Structure 1
Amino acid sequence: MKKVYKKILFLLVMMVALSTGCKKDIAKEQEAGNPLQPRIFDILRDFSGAQIINEGDTAKFNGIEITPAGKADVSWMVDGKEVSKDKKFAFAPARGGEFVIKLKVSYNGDSSVRSTKVLVNPSTYTFKPYTKIAMTYLTQDATAANVNFNNVTHVAYKIGLVSPEGDLDTSPGEAGQKAREIVARAHIAGVPVIMGISGRLSGIDGWAIYETNDFGTAIRDAAKRTKLVGLVKAYVAAKQMDGVDIMMTDINSGNAPDNIHAIGPFLTQLKAALPAKAIITVTVTTNYQHWEYPDLSAATWVNLHTFEDNIHIGPDAQVGQSSSLAFMKEGAEKWTNFHLPASKLVLGVPAFGLRYNALNGAGNNESWGSYDYMTYKAILAADPTAFGKEFTDKSGKGVYYSGVQLVTLKAGYIKNNGFKGGYVWAGDYDTQDANSLMLALFNGIK
């Protein structure tokens, strides 16, 4: 009986061994015949968008899982050059710039690839030289895609909204890291970025709304003014911006004179708080209230709102061009005659137009509610030939605006009369093609 049991036990062991060997062989055959496609799982969404860092910081790619685990070959590349074979990767650039990060995972001859970009704001940068300022002034809705950095010398970004309490809302610039990207791309291109601060309410022209006193209320009060200066200083430092533009537009109220007078002490206090090399500018009106402005010679320069004359709106107003060359000249001459030399003044050009939606029997504007404004790029969408004109009838009852030809004439006036430069409001209303108003201004004044 013992011999029988031994034989049975031997046979069982052999059967198990043969069975195990078959399974291993089958697994190999299946793997060879049906190779597993390598996959990359971006657990922390490291590849969902560009990372924006400052020079000296590190972009980390730690949330990556790979299949088949432990079998696939890993290759991390920076601008096409392999730099690591580990599953995790930390990129610590030695300079500013834009870098392409690519992860390639290979197995059995097949590959999967993920790529993204890392934008590095340089710690030191040199501003490109210029003869005249050609500045794009962006609204809080703008992104870096709204700027061609080859066509500008400066960027102003209206990202600080001032409340009557002296608080500063900069939240629009945090969405999608818009502020950080604009600063990083500008500095890589050698272009300074100026933080625009204004009241919370403004129209498409970025200017005054009736009976608003947000900004004025804050800077008329010494304690609130000090609070606001501290907040502005902190934001400029945190975002590595190069200065501030004071766009105090509370001039359509009973407090307008006091609001305007308060710009003086605010400018003085802000200038003392920011670094000595900081650019500090003021954007001002050219209407009858120009008399109210204090001495602004301490500013690096002053931006003149030399567009939108406001005489072609309202009931029975005659339709027409509200941002003519003549209006620019008139406003500029007020300031050169009574305030500052042309070398301290930067003149504004609009990237929007006045549209009439209803006219009365005389062919004039019907009422206060019968007109509005269109961005330049919306005008071109309605009429692709509009770039070469000042009027189009392809929207509403017609739109008056500054086209390429008129902006070129304005640029010639700026260049030939000793002004410091010009700016376009707003850069995100403009196009980024050959019909760009910023491009026309840049070419016209250089």
Structure 2
Amino acid sequence: MKKLSYFLLFISYLLASCAKEDEPDTSNYFPRIFDGGLVFQAPSRIIQEGESAVYTGLLFSPKPVEKTKISWKVNGQEVSTDTAFTFAPKEGGEFEIKLEASYNGQTATRISKVLVSPSRYTPKPAARTVMSYLSENATAAGINWGDVTHIAFNGARVLPGGSVDFSKSNQNQNLDELVARGHINGVPVLLGVSGRLSGVDGWSLYNSNDFGSSISDPALRSSLVETLASYVQAHRLDGIDIMMTDLSNDDPAIAGGNAAAVTPFLTALKAALPQGALVTVTVTTNYMHWEYANLSAADWINVHAFENGVTVGPGAKPGQASPFNFMTAGATIWTNKGIPANKLVLGIPAFGLRYNELDANGNNASWGSYEYMPFSAILAADPGALERDSSTTIAKGVYYNGKPLVSQKATYIKNQGFRGAYVWAGNYDAAEANSLIKIISGILK
């Protein structure tokens, strides 16, 4: 019996020892947050006022969870100590949601940014329009909201048959971010609607008729208006710009019919959109201006008064494609048509014409020997280019609108009483002090 007692005592000692060894030493344990629901996976969320951002499915260690102090903070202020949190903002703005899990003096952290688009906002007062017209590949990054009064985003591509390709407009909630940041800063955001564009310059693909054919057919036009109006309301946009750069066609009858169809399309959009929504039209300065019907229902007209077309093509003499006199002549075309200056927004390019090959006479070599270059890329290649309107250090030369020419144009716009200026494309512009939009804004204010 003695041996049995000693044996049982030894077994009890071993079991007790094992139990002590199995118990983890948490004295130096670093707390952890397990995001099984991937609620912190995206660095930011974009929601509309009235919606919520929900953070659930989280696990914490060490266990039990009571050992870990949990803290949820919104913009630095603690709002909850629960294991889950629902952020229900009462106003628009940008918010930081921080989750902290603390144990024994150490803290694990997860952070989420939430951008809330306000349900109501007041457009900031502005004496004149300064609009950044963004191409379909633009994002909200880099926009100086203090320098612009309006944003237009070329995010709706009309396809043959009247359907619309919105695929570029809201990738990764891009459009929603533009609207949210715009409204937080008092800047209306318009949806630019166009046919197929040829590239950097914003003109239509040669002989394209996607948009024109869609608005010329009454049934297709009605369907198109309904599609666009629904999209504008769903994304809380402030209106639409009809970017009619593909009206022309080799057949004059088709071109004329397309131009005439802009007026009923404009009228139908005004009726379908919410009261107060903006509808503008971007028009050309080429021969097609004779074909346009009455555009007086537009809130204003954007004049594509840049890129004269005489400095490209085989044998063309290199030079400024968007000179001052071309803009003023384009403006005069539309004032002569009876459009008052205070309804005209004149276009200024944020890109340059680059020559890659010249012929023996020093002229452009061929249709394939030139290309267009964003203004930001010009400054990257030639840091001193801001103070000039051309550069000879890039390829065979680049001609663009730098500070001297942009200042001259903006001063003319102000002195002649025009509504303002727009820049195509805003995402081609340089940043901060080198920004053409900043220069224009400073003069027009």
TM interval, shorter chain, is: over 0.9
Q: Is contact 1:209-1:252 (8 Å) kept?
A: no
1:122 to 115, 118, 124: 118
Which residue matches 1:45? 38
For structure 1, which segment, 165-174 or 93-102, has the greater mean C-alpha deviation from structure 2 after superposition?
Answer: 165-174
Cα distance in structure 1, aligned partners of 2:225 and 2:297: 16
Pair 1:104 & 2:100 matched: yes
Cα distance in structure 2, aligned partners of 1:369 and 1:347: 29
Q: CA deviation at 1:189?
A: 0.4
Secondary structure at the counterpart of residue 177 of structure 1: helix
Correspondence 1:152-163 to 2 at 5 A: 152-163=148-159
Cα distance in structure 2, aligned partners of 1:337 and 1:244: 25
For structure 1, which segment, 364-373 or 245-254, has the greater mean C-alpha deviation from structure 2 after superposition?
Answer: 245-254
Q: CA deviation at 1:17?
A: 4.3
Render the CA deviation track for 1:175-222: whole Å, top value 9, x for unaligned.
111000000000000110001000133321111221100100100101
Which residue matches 2:280? 281
User: Which segments of 5 or more consecutive residues in structure 2 lack a partner in the other structure?
Assistant: none
Pair 1:22 & 2:17 matched: yes
One-letter identity of the residue aligned with 2:46: I
Q: 1:8 to 1:237 in 2, by over 3 A?
A: farther
1:62 to 53, 56, 73: 56
1:233 to 229, 236, 241: 229
Q: CA deviation at 1:73?
A: 1.7
Render the CA deviation track for 1:305-361: whole Å, top value 9, x for unaligned.
010000111111111001111111010011111230101100001000011111112
Which residue matches 2:147? 151
1:91 to 87, 90, 93: 87
Q: Is contact 2:239-2:279 (8 Å) kept?
A: yes
Cα distance in structure 2, aligned partners of 1:12 and 1:423: 93
Q: 1:442 to 1:28 in 2, by over 3 A?
A: same
Secondary structure at the counterpart of residue 197 of structure 1: strand
Render the CA deviation track for 1:69-98: whole Å, top value 9, x for unaligned.
323221111001111111211100111100
Q: Is contact 1:151-1:439 (8 Å) kept?
A: yes
Aligned length: 439
Cα distance in structure 2, aligned partners of 1:42 and 1:435: 43
Correspondence 1:1-400 to 2 at 5 A: 4=1, 11=6, 14-26=9-21, 30-32=25-27, 35-47=28-40, 48-69=42-63, 70=65, 71-253=67-249, 254=251, 255-400=254-399
Q: TM-score normalised to the size of structure 2?
A: 0.95
For structure 1, which segment, 201-210 or 104-113, has the greater mean C-alpha deviation from structure 2 after superposition?
Answer: 201-210
User: Which segments of 5 or more consecutive residues in structure 1 lack a partner in the other structure?
Assistant: none
Q: 1:89 to 1:343 in 2, by over 3 A?
A: same
For structure 1, which segment, 83-92 or 39-48, has the greater mean C-alpha deviation from structure 2 after superposition?
Answer: 39-48
One-letter identity of the residue aligned with 2:92: G
Cα distance in structure 2, aligned partners of 1:406 and 1:66: 61
One-letter identity of the residue aligned with 2:107: S
Secondary structure at the counterpart of residue 26 of structure 2: helix
Q: TM-score normalised to the size of structure 1?
A: 0.95
For structure 1, which segment, 323-332 or 205-214, has the greater mean C-alpha deviation from structure 2 after superposition?
Answer: 205-214
For structure 1, which segment, 421-430 or 17-26, has the greater mean C-alpha deviation from structure 2 after superposition?
Answer: 17-26
Render the CA deviation track for 1:76-135: whole Å, top value 9, x for unaligned.
110011111112111001111000111111122221111121000011111110000000
Q: CA deviation at 1:28?
A: 6.0
Q: Percent identity?
A: 50
Q: Is contact 2:72-2:78 (8 Å) kept?
A: yes
Cα distance in structure 2, aligned partners of 1:177 and 1:207: 26
Cα distance in structure 1, aligned partners of 2:411 and 2:100: 53
Cα distance in structure 2, aligned partners of 1:124 and 1:177: 20
Q: CA deviation at 1:56?
A: 0.9
For structure 1, which segment, 249-258 or 164-173, has the greater mean C-alpha deviation from structure 2 after superposition?
Answer: 249-258
Secondary structure at the counterpart of residue 194 of structure 1: strand
Render the CA deviation track for 1:352-396: whole Å, top value 9, x for unaligned.
001111111211111111111000011111111111111112222
Secondary structure at the counterpart of residue 31 of structure 1: coil
Secondary structure at the counterpart of residue 119 of structure 2: coil
Q: CA deviation at 1:285?
A: 0.3
Cα distance in structure 1, aligned partners of 2:57 and 2:384: 50
Q: Is contact 2:198-2:206 (8 Å) kept?
A: no
Q: CA deviation at 1:8?
A: 5.9
One-letter identity of the residue aligned with 1:262: A
Q: Is contact 1:351-1:375 (8 Å) kept?
A: yes
Cα distance in structure 2, aligned partners of 1:251 and 1:218: 11
Cα distance in structure 1, aligned partners of 2:57 and 2:404: 53
